């Protein structure tokens, strides 16, 4: 069984930037356009107001998954949740989500909130099975067709 280690990373590290580019290509293929246009700054993911996590495959050090959170009032907004195709189906996304929740809880956030889209059924299934419930749309894509917003008390 392949083992993964989850650690904090800077959003602007070259390997992280490469992984996020994979994420953006995936979103572009699903939705068209260039990807997710939500404004994001490197500082969004710096403690105490955020964190960016990556999963590293222990065998070769390759980054295979990412997820970050940034403060949105008293909430933590989940961003850039992604797992490379080669690492899917091993429960890694669930581990990443739990790590995000723990990081946000430790920083004093009361909920994790997120936006996703109707063309990401595997993400929707993960969030719902992890206890996330639909909320009123709130973010950059508020009012867009197909956007789905969720929250979970942590």
Q: What domains are defined for the chain?
A: 4-153 (3.40.630.30)
Residue with tokens 């508020």: 142
- 86 token code pair: 């080669």
Q: What is the dihedral of CA 60, 18, 79, 130, to 10 degrees?
A: -30
Average pLDDT of 121-132? 97
Nearest to 138 by CA among 120, 118, 107, 112: 112
Tens digits of residue pLDDT in 20-77: 999 999 988 888 876 677 889 999 999 999 999 999 999 999 999 999 999 999 999 9
Question: In the prediction, which pLDDT does 43 show?
Answer: 97
Per-residue confidence (pLDDT) for residue 2, from 0 to 100: 61
- The SS3 assignment for 101 reads helix
Phi-psi category of 107—alpha, beta or left, where left has phi over 0 and alpha has psi -120 to 50?
A: alpha
pLDDT number for residue 34? 64
pLDDT for 133 beyond 90: yes
Whole-structure pTM value: 0.93
If one compares 153 and 143, the residue with the highest pLDDT of the two is 153
């Amino acid at each position: 069984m392949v083992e993964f280690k989850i650690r904090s990373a800077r959003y602007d590290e070259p390997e992280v930037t490469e992984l996020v580019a994979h994420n953006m290509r995936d979103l572009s293929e699903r939705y068209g356009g260039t990807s997710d246009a939500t404004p994001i700054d490197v500082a969004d993911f710096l403690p105490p107001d955020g964190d960016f996590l990556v999963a590293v495959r222990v065998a070769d050090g390759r980054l295979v998954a990412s997820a970050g959170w940034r403060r949105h009032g008293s909430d933590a907004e989940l961003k850039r949740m992604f797992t490379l195709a080669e690492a899917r189906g091993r429960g890694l996304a669930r581990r990443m989500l739990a790590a995000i929740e723990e990081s946000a809880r430790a920083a004093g956030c009361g909920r994790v909130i997120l936006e996703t889209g109707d063309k990401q059924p595997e993400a929707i299934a993960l969030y719902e099975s992890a206890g996330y419930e639909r909320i009123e749309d709130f973010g950059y894509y508020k009012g867009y067709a197909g956007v789905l917003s969720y929250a979970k008390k942590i």
